[in-house]
Amino acid sequence: MSQGTGFGKTILIGDQFVLDEVPAIVSAIPFETITTVERTSGKGWTLEDNRIEAPGYKEKKKEQQVGSINKILEVMNIDVGKNPIKITVAGNLLAGSGVGASAASCVSLARALNEEFKLGYTIEEINRVAWQGEFPYHGVASGVDNTASTYGGLLRFWLKDGKQNFERIKTPKSFEIVLCNSGITANTAALDEFIEVQKKDNPKLFRSRLDTIIAQGADLKEALEEGDLVKAGGIMTENHKLLIDMDMSHEILDVLCKMALENGALGAKVTGGGRGGYMIALTPGRDLQDKVASAFEKAGYNLIIKTAIGG
C-alpha cells in the first residue's frame, strides 16, 4: 500500500487564458488531496472517494474522474488487469471548482502509483503524468494547476510555443487570503468552448482584453515581490471587473467579492476557471482574514478556506 499527495491551488490572475499564452500567477495552498493505492484481488481498479466536497461536485465530475484515472494508468503503463488495485482518495482539500481539486487528485494518484509500482519517476515526470490526467476534466489542460499542485509555492506560469514554463515568485513575507465557494460547480471543459466563441465573435476586443490581463499580471507580480499588497489588491479587483465584462464570473461570486471589499479586503476576484467555484479575497493580517470570513459565514456561505500564501 502506498500514498501520494497533491496540493490545492488558487490563481490570482490569468487563469482562464493560459492556453492563449497569458501568464498566470498561481499559488499552491496548504491543503492536500491524499490518494492511497493498494493491491487487491480480481481485475481492474476500484475507487473509494472520501473527499469532503462542495454539494454535488463529486457526482458531477464522476465521469471525468474515471477518464482521468484511466488516462493516468495508461500513461504510466500500469496494467490493472494483471495488477488490480483499490484507489482511495481523501485529504483536507475540499473537492470543489476553483481550488485545483482535479489536479491534486491527479498528482496524488501519480505519486501513489509511482511508489507502489517502484517506477522511479522524477518530479518532472510526476507533473507530466498529472497534466495528462487533467485532460478528461478540462478538455485541453494548460498544466498550470498540476504544476502548482506538484511543486508548491507561489509561481508565475506561462505557455510559449506549446512549452510549459514557470518561475517562483518571492514575496517579503507570507500574507493571508480567504477563499469562499459559491456553491456552483463549473464545467471547466465547457469554459474553453465559451472562450472560443468570444474569440470568433469579436477577435479585436478579445485580443485587447488579453493584452490588458497580461499587463495586469506583470504589475501584480511586481507588486507582490515588493510587498505592496494594496496595489496587488487593486489589480485583482480590476481584473475581476474585466472578467465580469467577459461573462466569466457568476452573480454569487460578484456578491461575495463585493462583500469582501466592504469588509476591508484589499482585493477580491473570481479564482479558477470562473462561472462558479471559488472567489479569492486578499486579507493580510489574521484579524482582517477573520473579519471577511465571518462576513461570509453570517451570509450563509460556509465553504470557506482561510490560509496564507507567499513568503
Query: pLDDT tens-digit profile of 53-82?
Result: 988 889 999 999 999 999 999 999 999 999
Alpha carbons 181 and 244: distance in angstroms, whole number? 17
pLDDT band at 188 (very low <50, low <70, confident <90, very high): low
Average pLDDT score over residue span 92-97 = 87
Sign of CA dihedral 255, 146, 48, 273: positive
Look at the domain 174-310 and name its fold.
Alpha-Beta Plaits (3.30.70)
- Residue 192: per-residue pLDDT: 67
Q: Which three cell numbers stand for residue 230?
A: 494594496
Which range (37-46, 81-90, 177-186, 247-256) has the least confidence?
177-186
- For 266, 267, 291, the CA distances from 261, given in Å and listed in that order, are 7, 7, 11
Digit-coded pLDDT (tens) for 222-259: 999 999 999 999 999 999 999 999 888 889 999 999 99
| Domain residue limits, the chain | 2-168, 174-310
| Residues contacting residue 127 through CB under 8 Å, at least 6 positions apart | 107, 143, 146, 147, 150, 151
| pLDDT at 133 exceeding the cut of 90 | yes
| Cα angle, residue 29 at apex, residues 26 and 35 outer, rounded to 5° | 115
Q: Which CATH code of 3.30.750.24, 3.30.230.10, 3.90.870.10, 3.10.20.70 fits the domain covering 2-168?
A: 3.30.230.10
- Residue 299: per-residue pLDDT: 95
pTM: 0.91
Angle between helices 101-116 and 144-151 (to 10 degrees): 60
| pLDDT at 185 exceeding the cut of 80 | no
Sign of CA dihedral 241, 169, 171, 219: negative
pLDDT band at 200 (very low <50, low <70, confident <90, very high): confident
- Residue 140: per-residue pLDDT: 86
Instruction: Give bridge partners of residue 283 from the DSSP assignment.
Output: none
Q: Where are the alpha helices (DSSP H) in 51-122?
A: 57-60, 62-75, 101-116
| pLDDT at 190 exceeding the cut of 70 | no
Q: Do domains 2-168 and 174-310 have the same CATH topology?
A: no
Which range (6-10, 90-94, 194-198) has the least confidence?
194-198
Rg of the chain taking only CA atoms, in angstroms: 19
- Residue 54: per-residue pLDDT: 82
Query: Which among 177, 136, 132 is positioned nearest to 150, based on CA atoms?
Result: 132
Contact 169, 25 (CB under 8 A): yes
Alpha carbons 178 and 50: distance in angstroms, whole number? 24
| Residues contacting residue 261 through CB under 8 Å, at least 6 positions apart | 237, 267, 268, 281
DSSP state of 186: P
- Residue 138: per-residue pLDDT: 85
Alpha carbons 125 and 233: distance in angstroms, whole number? 35
Average pLDDT score over residue span 24-36 = 97
Average pLDDT score over residue span 280-289 = 98
Alpha carbons 92 and 29: distance in angstroms, whole number? 11
| pLDDT at 184 exceeding the cut of 80 | no
